[in-house]
Structure 1
Amino acid sequence: MPAEDRIGALAARWAAEGRTLHAIYDDATRPVGALGDDVPVATLATFTAGLAAGGDEDIPCTLVADVTVRATHQGQGLMRRLMDAAAHDAATPLMALHAAHPARYARFGFAPAIRSACVEVDCARFRLRDPAAGTVHEAGTHRADELARAVAMSSAVLRFGALTPALTGAESDDGARCLVHTDDRGVVDGVLTWAFLGWTPRAQVIEVRAESYATVDAHAALWQTLCSTGIASTIRAADSRLEDPVAWMIEDRAARRVTAVTDGYSLRVLDPARALAMRGYSCPDTSLVIEVADGTGAASGRWLLAVTRGRATVEPTARAADVRLGARELAALFLAGTRADALHAAGLLADGRDARILDDLLRWPVEARSGLHF
């Protein structure tokens, strides 16, 4: 695709997402041949998505992407200026970003919130113990985003941690193909996009680009179909759950191998009260006072959190705190991707009792899973 067409396609996708580019420019005198002052020296893009956290509606979340600082301008506080401005302008209780090196963003209050497994499947050995339920169909990728959104919204438990839209960019993904699963009533309950990467000296590889499913049966059937295409010996996916039930649904567990475990996206909590109130809970009914400390002061406060039948009310209070933690630690624990007792052992939570309370409060029946790379 010509460069002009690629830029046009990117601009169209950004417009559809509502993505805004924030940039800093340098108008200093420069030698002939250097990049002009119309080229930014630092950038950061933001757009909004919904984070599924088990509540009645998704939590609005500001996504941060396209973070760059030119090598010639490192160490001048440019990224701090952009991050502070983005946090100030955000009208959401949470921010999220994907980072190859999450530790670089700790100083801005971000903490890794979920873990993802990279998996590799041997097609010849992948066989379900029982016949797959429902029916798998091939679909056009232009429908993938729409179908995946409908699937995602139908399962509050399995979509925990998902950022919508789950399949952004599928329409313009050259060479991508799409599989759709329907249940016995004909309702779409699974969508998977994939691409054939071609032949390598050791394997013929299919890559899973994105997957959204409302039932484990749909998930299993989509993978069984993908393994049966006959064009590949290996399937790779980079956004799987560590504890995937499909591993126990196949005859040979060794057919599915975890090749790496990585951090998924990182979260920053801007408004703890609103975030906690919109989250769902699987713990018994409870009431406690949570105190959050934030170095910037923006997310600091003390609130009475009362959980009744999986839903919470959160109100400011002057009562003594039952649990104390930092805003970054809350970000790490928010989706139960990290256990509070691990943070206590690492010295990030002072009180072991606080850790036990937080683990009981924030647990969820399944691991959080992203589904969106941005």
Structure 2
Amino acid sequence: MTVVEYRTISDAHLDRALDLHYLVFLEKDCEDEVRKRHREILAYGDRIGAYEGDDLVGLLVAHPLRLSVPGGELPCAGVTFVSVAPTHRRRGVLSGMIDELWRRCAAAGQPLAALWVSEADIYGRFGFDPATRSYTVEIDAGWPLKLRTAPDGRPLRLVPPEEAPAVIGARHAAARAERAGRVARDDFWWRTHILPETDEENDDLTAPRVVTIGDPGEVPAGYVIYRTLSDSEGRGTLHLRELEADSPAVAAALWQYVASIDLVDKVRAWGRPLDDPLLRFAGDRDLVRVAQEFPALWLRLVDVAAALRGRAWSAPVDLVLEVTDTGIPANAGRYRLTTEEAGADGHRALVTRTDDAPDLTLDVRELAAGYLGDVDTAELVRAGLVTEHTPGAARGLGAALRTELLPHTTDEF
């Protein structure tokens, strides 16, 4: 059997990589515009190829992201386009590409890796676990949307998509600073992932519409990004991509706007945070329905010590964590986690190796689940996934991990 080698996919092989990806995901060759965008996305990332001789049999792309974590941000490998040729399944190709990814993360100083899964049962064994969750919310727009919070009365403005990043970028950055799990966006990211002309999953949707609220000449107090889809009778569904607001009144004004557009019968908002204020200030919850809850961003701690040092903590803690990690053995072992005096963004942690008896034993996967503040450690103990050796240790770690706002991810990649 020919040996599989793992090396960088050259620019000359980008189209071969896309052909492999479309083959694996049962997709027809994309339209020129979408294929061009895919090619540009591949060129933007770190491309790991699995080669059997001259044949490309595996593909993994890692975007160089900055992910918001409590109290700051950290470098993160955003994993996407993971593909293994159907002729080479169950031969260790994916494991080989993941091992190469860990080596590259270490070299690039990326203590985190993240992805959106196509098959959830695959990535747990590589140490990933869901670290944010989302709702899909549907609003019956056939009736006036009643709100218990008075909407902000400042003017709304329609912004051309090509101008939108310069207009709304500062508002997105401010919202990102308040929640963990958010990706920093440059012009490339806005254009290829947030505001492409054509929606990749449904080319019947319109081009993106961007509406802001606020006083002219100032950073918008909020914005909404959406597309619409009309049926054969001219009635429409509004697909909301993103809504950001700096106050409940601004959020109320934007929700009122999207639910009152002429000919729109339904608003479908995919990927809303579980603590979305809409679910509190909607006056008639029969018209505002949670249609789905789903795990969103999956996270992996590639460098446990650096990840623990890199976030702020909500409460003082002094614990010994025994971490297991079969994928990256260098992570395995015992860590004493001791928080220092609280600063403006919370407590910071000293993380040192130790031989002291552990207070908690957990796999790196469970550490990822709670790292951004989404899952309480005590819940994992009750599920039998974390072992508590010292009574109260899980409660203490959970309190330190907790964040004021739930982590939330809006950028799918």
Does residue 68 of structure 2 align to residue 42 of structure 1? no
AA of the residue aligned to 2:269: A
Where in structure 2 are the equivalents of 1:93-112 lying within 5 Å?
93-112=111-130
Q: How far, CA to CA, are the matches of 1:200 and 1:72 in structure 2?
A: 43
Q: Deviations over 1:302-338 (max 9, x none)?
A: 1333143213132314362433322111001112222
Aligned to 2:350: 314
Q: How far, CA to CA, are the matches of 2:215 and 2:330 in structure 1?
A: 47
Q: How far, CA to CA, are the matches of 1:191 and 1:54 in structure 2?
A: 24
Residue 8 of structure 1, CA deviation: 2.6
User: 2:133·2:294 contact (CA, 8 Å) conserved in 1?
Assistant: yes
Q: How far, CA to CA, are the matches of 1:272 and 1:135 in structure 2?
A: 47
AA of the residue aligned to 1:348: L
Of 100, 106, 114, which aligns to 1:85?
100
AA of the residue aligned to 1:287: D
Of 64, 67, 71, which aligns to 1:51?
67
Residue 72 of structure 1, CA deviation: 1.8
Does residue 268 of structure 2 align to residue 236 of structure 1? yes
AA of the residue aligned to 1:325: L
Q: How far, CA to CA, are the matches of 1:109 and 1:2 in structure 2?
A: 32
In structure 2, the CA distance between the partners of 1:276 and 1:100, relative to structure 1 (3 Å rule), is same
Of 12, 19, 32, which aligns to 2:45?
19
Q: Deviations over 1:115-157 (max 9, x none)?
A: 1111111122423234311432211112334445422332466
Residue 81 of structure 1, CA deviation: 0.6
User: 1:286·1:308 contact (CA, 8 Å) conserved in 2?
Assistant: no
Q: How far, CA to CA, are the matches of 1:203 and 1:177 in structure 2?
A: 18
Structure 1 residue runs of 5 or longer lacking an equivalent are: 28-36
Aligned to 2:338: 305
Where in structure 2 are the equivalents of 1:151-162 lying within 5 Å?
151-155=171-175, 158-162=178-182
User: 2:319·2:393 contact (CA, 8 Å) conserved in 1?
Assistant: no
Q: Deviations over 1:16-65 (max 9, x none)?
A: xx3132222334xxxxxxxxx65x3221111121221221x311111100
Q: How far, CA to CA, are the matches of 2:133 and 2:227 in structure 1?
A: 24
Count of residues in Structure 1 that have an aligned counterpart in Structure 2: 360
In structure 2, the CA distance between the partners of 1:362 and 1:104, relative to structure 1 (3 Å rule), is same
State TM-score, norm by structure 2. 0.79
Q: How far, CA to CA, are the matches of 1:260 and 1:337 in structure 2?
A: 17
Aligned to 2:193: 169
Provide the secondary structure at the position in 2 that maps to 1:25.
Answer: strand
Q: How far, CA to CA, are the matches of 2:84 and 2:33 in structure 1?
A: 26
Does residue 137 of structure 2 align to residue 119 of structure 1? yes
User: 2:317·2:337 contact (CA, 8 Å) conserved in 1?
Assistant: no
Does residue 36 of structure 2 align to residue 8 of structure 1? yes
Deviates more, 1:81-90 or 1:300-309: 300-309
Provide the secondary structure at the position in 1 that maps to 2:97.
Answer: helix
Where in structure 2 are the equivalents of 1:132-151 lying within 5 Å?
132-133=151-152, 134-151=154-171
User: 2:159·2:210 contact (CA, 8 Å) conserved in 1?
Assistant: yes
Aligned to 1:30: none
Provide the secondary structure at the position in 2 that maps to 1:311.
Answer: coil
Does residue 83 of structure 2 align to residue 68 of structure 1? yes
Provide the secondary structure at the position in 1 that maps to 2:349.
Answer: strand
Does residue 288 of structure 2 align to residue 268 of structure 1? no
Aligned to 1:253: 285
Provide the secondary structure at the position in 1 that maps to 2:331.
Answer: coil
In structure 2, the CA distance between the partners of 1:200 and 1:117, relative to structure 1 (3 Å rule), is farther
Residue 361 of structure 1, CA deviation: 1.3
Q: How far, CA to CA, are the matches of 1:348 and 1:358 in structure 2?
A: 15
Aligned to 1:373: 412
Does residue 238 of structure 2 align to residue 206 of structure 1? yes
Q: How far, CA to CA, are the matches of 1:70 and 1:95 in structure 2?
A: 23
Q: Deviations over 1:260-307 (max 9, x none)?
A: 111101101011222122212333x34333332222313224133314
AA of the residue aligned to 1:340: T
Residue 234 of structure 1, CA deviation: 0.4
State TM-score, norm by structure 1. 0.87
Q: Deviations over 1:202-259 (max 9, x none)?
A: 9621111233444333333222111122131101121112232112222212221011
Aligned to 2:364: 327
Q: How far, CA to CA, are the matches of 2:195 and 2:212 in structure 1?
A: 15
Q: How far, CA to CA, are the matches of 2:280 and 2:75 in structure 1?
A: 35
Q: How far, CA to CA, are the matches of 1:146 and 1:98 in structure 2?
A: 27
In structure 2, the CA distance between the partners of 1:144 and 1:319, relative to structure 1 (3 Å rule), is farther
User: 1:288·1:305 contact (CA, 8 Å) conserved in 2?
Assistant: yes
User: 1:292·1:324 contact (CA, 8 Å) conserved in 2?
Assistant: yes
Q: How far, CA to CA, are the matches of 2:119 and 2:397 in structure 1?
A: 27
In structure 2, the CA distance between the partners of 1:171 and 1:208, relative to structure 1 (3 Å rule), is same
In structure 2, the CA distance between the partners of 1:42 and 1:51, relative to structure 1 (3 Å rule), is same
Aligned to 2:394: 355
Aligned to 2:314: 282
Structure 2 residue runs of 5 or longer lacking an equivalent are: 1-28, 199-206
Q: How far, CA to CA, are the matches of 2:242 and 2:165 in structure 1?
A: 10
Q: How far, CA to CA, are the matches of 1:185 and 1:282 in structure 2?
A: 36
User: 1:157·1:365 contact (CA, 8 Å) conserved in 2?
Assistant: no
Q: How far, CA to CA, are the matches of 2:310 and 2:272 in structure 1?
A: 25
Aligned identity (percent) is: 27
Provide the secondary structure at the position in 2 that maps to 1:332.
Answer: helix
Aligned to 1:225: 257
